[in-house]
Every structure is written in C-alpha cells, then in structure tokens.
Amino acid sequence: MKEGHIFIQGIISPWQDKAAEDYGEVNIKQVTQQIQNNKEADKLIVHIHSPGGDVDEGFGIHDILVASGKEIETRIEGLCASIATVIAMAGTVRAITENSEFMIHTPWTMVGGDADELKKYTDQLQAIEDKVIDFYVAKTGSSRESIEAMMKNETWLDANQAKELGFVTEIITTMKAVALFNVNKPNKNITMNQKELETAVEKGHNSLLDKIRKMLNLSGVKMLTITAADGTILDFGEQAASIEEIVVGMTATIEGGAPPEGDYVMPDGRTFVFAAGVLTEIKEAAGGDDAEALKAEIEQLKKDLDAEKAKNTATKAAIVDLQKDITKFKAQMKSDIKGIDPDKFRDTGGDNQPVNRFAGNKPKIGV
C-alpha cells in the first residue's frame, strides 16, 4: 500500500490566499492541493498540530479528506484543539502521540448589532454547538450529556484520556527503531533494532565519558595523591582534598590499584598504617630533627609541583582531543541520519486566533 502525507499544522482559516501558509494558516485550498499531490497514494496520513480555527473551514477539510476515496489515518502530533479535533475525526485510525493534548469547547464568536441581530447570532451559535455535539457523539459513542458538559467546561485531555473517551483509537509511543550511522563503517546507513541502537549510543557515550573522566583525573580535580618517604604514591581519590583532611577509615591504592599494607611515613612526619588498603591508624610524628622533616616536606612539594605541571600539559592535550572527538561525533551524526524517514519507524496502531489556555482567551469564531 502506497502512503501519502497531509500536513495540517497551524490555524484553520477561511483565508484562501497563497500567502496564508506564510502566516501559519491552513485552509481547504492547501489541503486539497496536498491530496492532489498524493494521487497515487492508497492511504493518506494526516499530521495534525493546530489550535483550531474557523468552524466551516474545519468541517470542510474533514469532508474533503473523507471524500478523497483513500484510507485516512489522522495523527495528532502536539496540539489538537477546537475545530482541529473535528478534522482529526476524519480518520478510520485516529492516533495521538503520547505527549500531545486534545481540547474541546463550545463555539465562540464576536459580533455587534441590535437586539434582533444579536438574537440571530445567538441562535446561529447554538445551532453550531448542537452540530458539533452531535458530531462528537456519533464519532465517539459517548452520551450527548457528557460531550456537552466537556465542551462547556473547555476540557483538556491527555493522550490516554482522549483514547478512553473514544476521540482517538491509538496512542503513538516513542520511536523504537531508526536508521542510524554505522559506528564501525562511517558514512554508511544501516537499520538498527532497539537493542543495537542502545548499544551503539552507549558505546559512543561511554567513549566520550571515559575521555572526560581521564581529563578530570589529569587535572587533579579532587584527586589526592601523597608520596610517602619511601617513594610510594598513595592515591586517596576524591575522599580528601589535602593531607590534613585524611582520617582513619579512608581507603587508598598504590601503583597498579593495589591496596597499601603496613606503615608509610608521610612528608609531615606522621605515619599512616594500612591494612588491606584501609587506613587503620595515624601515628603522630616522633620528636626529632625538625629540619629533616621540613626538608622532606619541601622535597615533596617540589615533586607535587612538577607533577601538577605535567598534569596541566596532559590536560590541555586531552581537552584538545576531546573537542576533536565531540566535533567529529556531531558531524557524523548529522551526516549519517539525513536519510532517516521518521514515519517508517513509528508505531501505528473558528478560531482565527490561537487558543491561549492560560490566559483564558477564546478564538474569534469557531470551536
């Protein structure tokens, strides 16, 4: 079955000028042209994102879709409010994305004139309201009383509520498969299932994350290492920012990730006692030659300074590499997903002014 696509994205307007589309308005003329552009299609998928608009125009669009002789599936993708809900009812399959909203209310207009004219418009408005109520009842199977109550209360429905009440027949969930670049063969598109997609994304994500972790380690962000008197480097990781913050109970590792064992004399003269990598005791420095302790501390500071200089150099190089990788990753994504057809992978199953639900203003004409 060949599918065609119709897009109703904007205010439903009776203005038939070619410029209407430039102002975000949708009319019968545009929809008719889209239908003609899909003459070979057996099925039309109608994508809807609209705050509503003109009553007559909305019913007209509904009717030409139904009369097209093609299978109609409507898909609400964002907002379907007011008269746009009538258009949505044109589908034998009526789908809504899980994050979309559906709103119905009574028709509203703005008129002027004497008492007789106002009465005439009141009668006309009531007739339109009755027409819309009857339409919803026929399409959903709900009672007239419940539909009328929802319209008078300007009712907003989420996807689940719209389905429960019969306004839609299916809920479209998140895309489950896409065409994605082959991480092993750049510039070649492949089709991945959900598991393969998650694995590929996770692989790319972890690769960048590892580089970031490495960069942070190189920069010495809260990574405390201390060189003992015998030259052993004790790594306390993120548990402390300085030797003064180290307390019994903390853990450390030495070269290769091995746990330290036994006594290690610190630059300040104290002795750290470890058992299986856990600091079990801190022995205060014994009385002695302060000059020797000070000398050892100065030597340690020199080593630390040299180490920091080396880290800074390595960090700069790591940042440059990371920036290159991110740029390459983004460029690859843009290049390799150009050919994605989102509809291929989906799960399927008058307001002249937009409705402002927060300010409470109503459309100029329509429902």
The pLDDT tens digits for 242-275 are 888 899 999 999 987 899 999 999 888 899 999 9
Contact 83, 350 (CB under 8 A): yes
> What is the percent of the chain with per-residue pLDDT over 70, rounded to a whole number?
71
Whether 180 is in a domain gets the answer no
Q: Is pLDDT at 138 greater than 70 in this prediction? A: yes
Does residue 108 lie within any of the structural domains? yes
Q: How far is CA 259 from CA 33, 221, 273, in A?
A: 75, 22, 12
Asked if residue 339 belongs to a domain, the reply is no
Examine the domain organization and report whether 230 and 126 are in the same domain: no
Of 175, 193, 209, the position where a domain reaches its end is 175
- 347: in domain: no
Same domain, 108 and 243: no
What pLDDT shows up at residue 214? 55
The CA distance from 90 to 61, in Å, is 9
Domain count, the chain: 2
Residues 128 and 38 in one domain: yes
Residue 246 sits in the same domain as residue 310:
yes
Determine the Cα–Cα distance for residues 314 and 216; give it in Å rounded to an integer. 11
The answer to whether residue 277 is domain-embedded is yes
CATH code of residue 107? 3.90.226.10
For 366, counting Cβ atoms within 10 Å of its Cβ (0-12 exposed, 13-18 middle, 19+ buried), the class is buried
Q: 3-class DSSP state for residue 225?
A: strand
Tell me, yes or no, whether 351 lies in a domain: no
Say how far apart CA 127 and CA 120 lie, in whole Å.
11
Task: Tell me the pTM.
Answer: 0.50
Is residue 241 scored above 60 in pLDDT? yes
CB neighbour class for 358 (10 Å; exposed up to 12, middle 13-18, buried from 19): exposed
Cβ atoms within 10 Å of 309's Cβ, excluding its own:
10
State pLDDT tens for residues 309-332.
777 777 777 777 776 776 666 666
Q: Can you give the pLDDT at residue 119?
A: 86
356 vs 193 pLDDT, higher one: 193
Other residues' Cβ atoms within 10 Å of the Cβ of residue 159: 21
196 domain residue, yes or no:
no
Look up tokens 């180290």; give the residue.
246
Mean pLDDT of the chain: 79
- Is 105 within a domain? yes
Domain region containing 166 = 3-175
Q: Which residues contact 160 (CB under 8 A, 6 or more apart)?
A: 171
